[in-house]
Amino acid sequence: MTQGSRSTRLPALIWAVLLLLCALFVTHQVWQGAPLDTRITALLPESDEQPILQRADHSLGDTYEKRLLILLKGDDSAQAAELLRQQLKDSGSVSSLDTETPPRPDKVLAEHRYRLLSQPLQQADADTWLKQGLTRLFTPGMDADIQRDPFGLLDQWLNERLSGPVSWQDGGPTIDSAEGLWRVVSATLDGDPYQLQLQTRLMETLDEFEQAHPQLTVLRAGVVFHAAAGAQQARSEISTIGLGSLLGILLLLALVFRRPGVMAALLLPVFCGLLLATAVSWALFASLNLITLAFGASLIGISVDYALHLQCYRQLHPQRPLSRLWPSLFLGLLTSLCAYLVQLATPMPGLRQMATFTALGLVGAWLTVRLWLPLLPVQPHPATSRIADGLNRWRLTRPGLAVVLVTSLILSTATLVALMKTTLSHDLRQLNPSPAELVAEQQHVQKLMQQPASFRYLLVTADNEEALLQRLEAIDPLLTSLSADGHLSAWQHIAQAVPSRATQQDNLELVRQRYDEVLPQLLDQVGLDPVLAERLTQRLDDVPELTINEWLNTGAGETGRPLVLDGTERPAALVLLGDVDSSAVARLEELAGAPDILYRDRVNALSIQLSTLSREISQWLLLALLLVIAGLTWRYRRRAWRALLPPVGAVALTLGVLAATHTGLTLFHLLGLLLVLGIGMDAGIFSTEHPSDSSTWLAISLSCASSLLAFGLLAFSATPALHFLGTTCLIGLVATWCLVPVARGVQPDSGTDTRHHARHHSETRSHETH
């Protein structure tokens, strides 16, 4: 054994220093509370669409990701809402509360009112104007304001354009719905919703508040709550799945090796792999996605393979040189790395992160096995070889006709079913990791607030602000008619609050005309001196125009800010759209045929990206399969089928079972298949390289069992993505393990192969007689 020569100690020492640095960096990151990302969309590709659409998406994302809304209903809700606002402020989790003073559009717009005409008033004739003027004066309580606004222009403008479900009561915003009176607490987060510290502070504050006010019904909406739920779930799953996997593996290894030293030596590479992967990935990608961690950490279960093969080999053949093992160990690493590094070529940032994480973990584990483990002394326990011998009997030395027939029948049936019935599923909602009740709460709040969702919009550009407003006004009638016919639930754009200069001028002209026609008559009918008309009309002389900037800079108008894009080459605005049906989509897409209008449905776009991606990954899978077939055929010639049966057969069986259970394949099923392929290849390669070696079969069994423990638990994950991955791996790995005995059935004395194998075989025999 190579214990302690200078040439092996130096690399081992360098590796130790490197790992120490990694450990320091990870500690630093955890100390700093560096963000962990839980968005499923982070795993999706960067859009290859127009930059302006990306900009709009980002702008909407920034605006809505930091917003949070809490609705309260019940006894003493007004005081409770005030208390909650104070507690949120004190907790430091929010940067600002939105509604400390009531917005006063009436004050902002008072001087502009003669340029702002509601649709009905624009269309109404002189008689209708007269009647409205009279009603305002004769209905009691109304602050008639005959001198400034005898026809109630401002009232009607506010009513038509700026009224929503929210009103101001008891010093705060409220929604009076059929369910009762809701108090609205809305705020902007003091940072990124994915920051764990921020989430913790916010959730603690809210939980304490809810415990102190059990009489209240509380509804929450906002990205931060989904992020926190996702983080919570991922954290608990990392601990259950991670812990379950670790305990299972520990038990298994304790049973087989029965020496704490050996077990420590087996877990050491996994730990080192994780350390390297976490540190380098965190440094490369500013934030780590929790799915990456959960996925990658389990994946590193493969890395225990290398240690297993090495330790089994050393335990059972302490006298043999390790150099015999290095080629297959290296081939194992290369094939696995290939399978994961292929993912680097995909355009999905999250997938690239996962691939990087896993590849690094594998390399870290492999290096530890290669550099450190040979330096440790070996003390085989007799039980190990007993178990290996026992297991070794489970091989099909000469597979009988029945076994061959049954295996072929199962595999061909599975392949047939897979070919005929495999379907792909690209429903983004299926991958949404949020708990159903949180999604329901969010929808409830959106319904109460009557907000259009922020993922569907028209993007309109123009040469200047005036042209932009006019363009928005020009498409408004189409939206109105779509809405009137029930094809569109809601829409929102800036020209609803700020008409174009041309429209404002037209409005003012019409108001002048009506004042001239109607005002003397109105005054006469109510018994006032018609001469007053001249005095009242003077107010129309210097009416200032309302501009976008002026409006957005007021408390009443600032919520419209997301409707206008900043810093674009040409002025650009968004028309946010609510629910649409297919005929509305057709009309909107037709509208977007114009060069200055784009239609965007982010969910749809993401679904399309997902399906493209799934197609790409299936192609990669196929390519990887072909490469493996070609490579292994070249290396093993006629024995190639033995190396290929475990990976290819397992993939076929998995696809068959999924198809037979009508499971639409998602991206994550495909990723699972990639994993099955990788583990199957390891098993195939080792069992073909060392066909008669009982240590190989022991290592393969332990590897399959440990990976099954890890991935079998993933199938129970509540995060859909991990669940799909787990189910696939569960089926695939069982299939792999069952197929290896069928594939490895070379008789120790068959004597067909090269000198290498002859030597190998005689050693095995000597060991077996031993």
Residues that bind other proteins (CB under 8 A): 98-99, 102-106, 131, 134-135, 137-144, 146-147, 152, 155-156, 158-159, 162-168, 170-171, 173, 176, 184, 186, 449-451, 492, 525-529, 532, 556, 559
Of the pair 294, 546, the CB lying nearest other proteins is at 546
Look at residue 715 and give its three-state secondary structure.
Answer: coil
CB 458 within 8 A of CB 563: no
Q: Are strands 172-177 and 456-461 parallel, antiparallel or unpaired?
A: unpaired
3-state secondary structure 681-698: HHHHHHHHHCCCCHHHHH
Q: How far is the CB of 206 from other proteins (least distance, A)?
A: 19
Q: How far is the CB of 170 from other proteins (least distance, A)?
A: 7
Q: How far is the CB of 494 from other proteins (least distance, A)?
A: 13
Q: How far is the CB of 72 from other proteins (least distance, A)?
A: 15
Of the pair 443, 525, the CB lying nearest other proteins is at 525
Distance, first Cα to last Cα, the chain: 20
Q: How far is the CB of 115 from other proteins (least distance, A)?
A: 17
Q: How far is the CB of 168 from other proteins (least distance, A)?
A: 5
Of the pair 49, 179, the CB lying nearest other proteins is at 179
Q: How far is the CB of 63 from other proteins (least distance, A)?
A: 12
Quote the longest CA-to-CA distance of the chain: 126
Q: How far is the CB of 152 from other proteins (least distance, A)?
A: 7
Distance CA 349, CA 344 (A): 9
CA separation (Å) from 727 to 57, 68, 469, 708, 722? 34, 35, 53, 10, 9
CB 131 within 8 A of CB 150: no
Name the nearest CA neighbour of 737 among 689, 680, 653, 675: 680
CA separation (Å) from 486 to 492, 584, 640? 16, 9, 63
Burial of 69 (0-12, 13-18, 19+ CB in 10 A): buried
Of the pair 135, 513, the CB lying nearest other proteins is at 135
Q: How far is the CB of 175 from other proteins (least distance, A)?
A: 10
Q: For residue 440, what are the contacts with CB-CB under 8 A and spacing of at least 6?
A: none
Q: How far is the CB of 481 from other proteins (least distance, A)?
A: 19
Q: Are strands 564-565 and 36-37 parallel, antiparallel or unpaired?
A: unpaired
694-714 vs 667-689: helix axis angle to the nearest 10? 170
Q: How far is the CB of 477 from other proteins (least distance, A)?
A: 20
Long-range contacts of 450-453 (CB under 8 A, 24+ apart): 450/164, 450/165, 450/490, 451/490, 452/489, 452/490, 452/491, 452/492, 452/576, 452/577, 452/578, 453/576, 453/578, 453/579
Name the nearest CA neighbour of 44 among 350, 341, 424, 355: 350
Of the pair 120, 544, the CB lying nearest other proteins is at 120
Of the pair 536, 734, the CB lying nearest other proteins is at 536
Q: In the structure, how many helices (H) and strands (E) does the chain have?
A: 28, 13
Q: How far is the CB of 361 from other proteins (least distance, A)?
A: 46
Per-residue b/e over 572-590, b at no fewer than 16 CB within 10 Å?
bbbbbbbebeeebbebbee
Of the pair 354, 523, the CB lying nearest other proteins is at 523
694-714 vs 304-316: helix axis angle to the nearest 10? 150
Name the nearest CA neighbour of 556 among 198, 147, 173, 71: 173
Burial of 763 (0-12, 13-18, 19+ CB in 10 A): middle
Distance CA 588, CA 607 (A): 19
Q: How far is the CB of 564 from other proteins (least distance, A)?
A: 15
Q: How far is the CB of 158 from other proteins (least distance, A)?
A: 4
Q: How far is the CB of 76 from other proteins (least distance, A)?
A: 12
Of the pair 45, 173, the CB lying nearest other proteins is at 173
Q: DSSP string covering 559-575, please?
A: GGGGGEE-S-SS-EEEE
For residue 351, give both structure tokens.
């997938």
Q: How far is the CB of 157 from other proteins (least distance, A)?
A: 9
Distance CA 153, CA 113 (A): 6
CA separation (Å) from 216 to 54, 71, 365, 750? 40, 10, 53, 78
Residue 759 parent element (H or E)? helix 755-769
